Structure 1
Amino acid sequence: MKIEILLDIKNRLGEGPLWDAESERLYWIDSLGCVAYRCTHDGREIRAWDLPDAIGSMAIRKDGNGAVVALRRGFHFLDFRTGDVDLIVDPEPDKPNNRLNDGKVDRRGRFIAGSMDTSEEGKNSGLYRLDPDLTLHKLDDGIIVSNGPCWSPDSKTFYFTDSWSGEIWAYDYDLETGNVSNRRTFTRLDTSTGGAADGSTVDAEGFVWNAQVYDGKLIRYAPDGTVDRVINMPVKKITSVMFGGPNLDVLYVTSMAIRHLPRFPHDPVERGALFAVRDLGVRGVPESRFGA
């Protein structure tokens, strides 16, 4: 195994690495810097799009010419050619202290993303599904910070976390309807060192990889929720993970350069970098595009 800095880009709050297998490009975001990025698998040909507000996640559209972006105040379309950003829908117009956060696309082209309380204290956030016909559906609520949505390779299980719950949850997922049910605890985290569950992905063997922010650990969980592998990263404030590269065998990891809240730890000069973890002996699963 080898950990390297792919780009020392000093993202304020790097998040959401997304490998688009069709174009063979890596996307990621700076949530508080209000920027979406793209590069090749080896960190070349960098492109950036300025956004009008904080961004929580993004998904590539079916035609590849744009994305759905989850901004502070709602889901928007981003046109890669012009940089234009257009509102689709704001799921929480009555909650000014919330913003949209982590999200991914299921294998039928639906975008699932949740919101978060910006003070990271109140259970007033929700989990939403944006369908290809642009209708919006609420899947769950009572959440502080939505994070880590991903699916098992057979799409029958949906994984998700409220970062401050100390747990990663599993739901039954109905791929035909996009509905979730039977929420249960997939695994409980050891939070004694201050860590919390952040972004997740699932590999081809059905194991869940989670970035444990403020603790600097990547943890691979077996399908039964037991810990299979722990990787210590060079920085504590890692935020999310995604397999990519031409062979889907590189684990890309984002991190943040700012402390975000005063109670969180400082990091060395590598803070805010985009990392690549190689030679893991594991491959990922291709991500889907949004179907509209």
Structure 2
Amino acid sequence: MRIEVVLDVKTTLGEGPLWDVVQQRLYWIDSFDGRVFRSTADGRELRCWDVPQKIGSMALRKDGEGAILSLERGFYTLDFKTGEVTLIHDPEPNLPRNRINDGKVDRRGRFFAGSMDTMEENASGALYRLDPDFSVTRIDSGMTCSNGPCFSPDDKTFYFSDTWTGDIWAYDFDINTGSVSNRRAFVMADMSGGGGTDGSTVDAEGALWNVLVYAGQIVRYTADGKVDRVIEMPVKKVTSVMFGGPNLDILYVTSMAKPPLPRFPGDGVLRGSLFAIHDLGIRGVAEPRFGA
């Protein structure tokens, strides 16, 4: 195994690595500075788009050069050619302290994203599904900091977490309707090192990889919830993971340069870097695009 720095861009709150198999390009975001980045697998051809609010996650669209964004005040579209950002829907206009956070697309082109309390204190967050026709459905609630949505390779299980509970949940997932049911504990993460469950991805073997933010660890759980391996990162404030590269065998890892709240710890000189982990001997699955 080999860990390298792809780009030291000092993202204030780097998040959401997203490898697109069509373009063979890597996307990621800076949640606090409101930026979307794109580069080649090795960090060349860096491009950046500014967005007008804090950003929690993104999904590429099937229909042209654009993306779906979960921003502070709802779901938006981004036109890569013009940079124009357009509101789709704000599901929480009555919750000004909330913002939409982490999200992923299922293999029918629907975008699932959860909201969070920006002070990370109240369980005011919820989980939403944005369909290709831009309709929005609330499918669960009661989260403080929604994180880590992802889908099993067989499309039968949806995973989701609430960062500071340590819970990673599994739901029964109906790929035909986009509905979830039977929420249950998948794992209770070991938070003794001071971390919390952040971004997740699923590999081709059906195992789940989860980042323990502030603990500087990435944990691989088998499909039955057992810890398979733990990777110690060179910084503590790692935030999210996704497999990418031409063979989908590079694990990309985002990190933050500055903690969002004063009570969280600082970090070393590589804080805010985008990392790549090579030679894991495991491949990921292609991330779907949004749309029918």
The two structures have a TM-score, normalised by structure 1, of 0.99
Q: Cα deviation per residue 1:7-26 (whole Å; 9 max; x = unaligned)?
A: 00000000000001111110
Paired residues of 2:157 and 2:172 also in contact (CA < 8 A): yes
Amino acid at match of 1:170: A
**How far is the alpha carbon of 1:196 from its aligned partner?**
0.5
2:267 counterpart residue number: 267
For 1:126 and 1:30, the matched residues in 2 are separated by 22
Is 1:281–2:281 an aligned residue pair? yes
Aligned residue for 1:204, secondary structure, equals: coil
Aligned residue for 1:164, secondary structure, equals: helix
1:45 counterpart residue number: 45
1:13 counterpart residue number: 13
**How far is the alpha carbon of 1:257 from its aligned partner?**
0.2
Matched positions, count? 292
Is 1:97–2:74 an aligned residue pair? no
Aligned residue for 2:270, secondary structure, equals: coil
1:189 counterpart residue number: 189
My pick for the range that moved more, 61-70 or 220-229, is 61-70
My pick for the range that moved more, 263-272 or 225-234, is 263-272
For 1:259 and 1:74, the matched residues in 2 are separated by 23
* Within-5 A mapping of 1:1-292: 1-291=1-291
**How far is the alpha carbon of 1:259 from its aligned partner?**
2.0
For 1:250 and 1:193, the matched residues in 2 are separated by 26
Residue segments in structure 2 that go unaligned for 5+ positions in a row: none
Paired residues of 2:13 and 2:259 also in contact (CA < 8 A): no
The percent identity for this pair of structures is 66
Residue segments in structure 1 that go unaligned for 5+ positions in a row: none
Q: Cα deviation per residue 1:68-106 (whole Å; 9 max; x = unaligned)?
A: 000000100000000000000001000000000000000
Q: Cα deviation per residue 1:160-218 (whole Å; 9 max; x = unaligned)?
A: 00111111000000000000000000001111111100000000000000011000000
For 1:282 and 1:191, the matched residues in 2 are separated by 26
Amino acid at match of 1:197: T
For 1:133 and 1:260, the matched residues in 2 are separated by 34
**How far is the alpha carbon of 1:266 from its aligned partner?**
1.3
Label 1:64 to 1:21 Cα distance change in 2 as closer, same or farther (>3 A): farther
Cα RMSD over matched residues?
0.7
Q: Cα deviation per residue 1:249-292 (whole Å; 9 max; x = unaligned)?
A: 00000000002212211110000000000000000000000006
**How far is the alpha carbon of 1:63 from its aligned partner?**
2.6
For 1:128 and 1:290, the matched residues in 2 are separated by 14
Aligned residue for 1:211, secondary structure, equals: strand
Amino acid at match of 2:81: R
Amino acid at match of 1:283: R
